[in-house]
Amino acid sequence: MNPRHLLTLRDLSTEELRQLVSRASELKQLQRDGTAHEPLKGKTLAMVFEKSSTRTRVSFEVGMAQLGGHALFLSPRDTQLGRGEPIEDTARVLSRMVDVIMIRTYEHDKLVRFAENSSVPVINGLTDLFHPCQLLADLQTYAEHRGDIAGRRVTWVGDGNNMCHSWMNAAQMLDFELRIACPRGYEPDPDILKATASNARLHPDPLDAAQDSDLIVTDVWASMGQEEEQAARRRAFADYQVNWELMRQARNDAVFMHCLPAHREEEVTTEVLEGPHSVVWDEAENRLHAQKALLEFLLARG
């Protein structure tokens, strides 16, 4: 049987996505109650990092330990990938030794090639095109604070990047409206925009986009690997900061999310990040519980 991968949210059915979000909250409560839940005893997760991370590494490593399993951290210095071994060969070798593999890398195509040659489930820990694991935590966080996201209005402010693409997939799968406010030249991938057009639309004016929104979400203006573009991006995104004026356009009970790390006074003001609408610390914690639900789901079916 072919292994079940999670390369984008589209690898799940809508029902499976809803079940994962719900299961993540159940696992969170078990952990808080001090109830041991170790269904992955004897299982091993390999974590391949070509891009560094705080939340992704800690959530997967701690999550695997809490589920009774073991996690291996592999940086480019720790694998033959750093010396030019074809990714297909690394996939064949690793998947003969471990039970599940998480990769955090740059090109989405590299992840796809890895998964095509793996005999165990592969998880997208982030690529330049999608970040589905962060969306699991974000959707869990919204559900815990405000309930079902179906029929709600979400506004994405900033770069049309991997996070924006994942929100676009989520909007169509869970049937909510996604307004995307991006500067000209930084819009999301046109093919993904076309595929999700039923639920995701561009609204170039961020203040207009935020009107009556239930959730405002943003990300850094320059992601990892875009450091040389920092100055140009700061100029292009100057009118796309999430500040109190923008939050006032949303509903009174709107929440604010950011996948972190945040650059205060750049894409978001401290007033919003630390303010009453912000749920970013719950969002960060939920990476752990969402990743546990995902590992349990994939290994039960892998």
128-187 per-position pLDDT tens digit: 999 999 999 999 999 999 999 999 999 999 999 999 999 999 999 999 999 999 999 999
Q: Could you confirm whether 104 is annotated as catalytic? A: yes
* Chain centroid, CA 142 distance in Å: 14
Q: Could you confirm whether 175 is annotated as catalytic? A: no
Q: Out of 5, 23, 108, 131, pick the active-site residue.
A: 131
Q: Out of 4, 165, 179, 287, pick the active-site residue.
A: 287
Cis bond upstream, residue 261 (ω within 30): yes
More confident residue, 159 or 231: 159
Q: Out of 4, 23, 55, 104, pick the active-site residue.
A: 104
CB 267, CB 159: distance < 8 Å: no
Q: Out of 153, 219, 241, 277, pick the active-site residue.
A: 219
Q: What pLDDT is stored for residue 77 in this prediction?
A: 76
Q: Out of 108, 128, 259, 291, pick the active-site residue.
A: 259
What is the average pLDDT score of the chain?
Answer: 95
Q: Whose CA is closest to 283, among 123, 143, 127? A: 143
Q: What pLDDT is stored for residue 229 in this prediction?
A: 84
Q: Could you confirm whether 152 is annotated as catalytic? A: no
Q: Could you confirm whether 263 is annotated as catalytic? A: no
Q: What pLDDT is stored for residue 76 in this prediction?
A: 79
168-177, 213-222, 226-235: segment of lowest average pLDDT: 226-235
Q: What CA–CA distance (Å, rounded) separates 272 from 190?
A: 31
Q: Whose CA is closest to 163, among 189, 194, 202? A: 189
Question: What mean pLDDT comes out for the span 269-284?
Answer: 98
Question: What mean pLDDT comes out for the span 205-222?
Answer: 97
State yes or no: pLDDT of 302 exceeds 50: no
Q: What pLDDT is stored for residue 65 in this prediction?
A: 97
Q: Whose CA is closest to 27, among 299, 290, 260? A: 290
State yes or no: pLDDT of 301 exceeds 60: no
Q: Could you confirm whether 259 is annotated as catalytic? A: yes
What is residue 301's three-state secondary structure? helix
Q: How many CA atoms lie within 13 Å of 106's alpha carbon, on the beta-carbon side? A: 6
DSSP letter assigned to residue 242: B
Q: What pLDDT is stored for residue 280 in this prediction?
A: 98
How would residue 82 be classed by pLDDT, with cut points 50, 70 and 90?
low
Q: Could you confirm whether 219 is annotated as catalytic? A: yes
Q: What pLDDT is stored for residue 230 in this prediction?
A: 84
The pLDDT tens digits for 117-142 are: 999 999 999 999 999 999 999 999 99
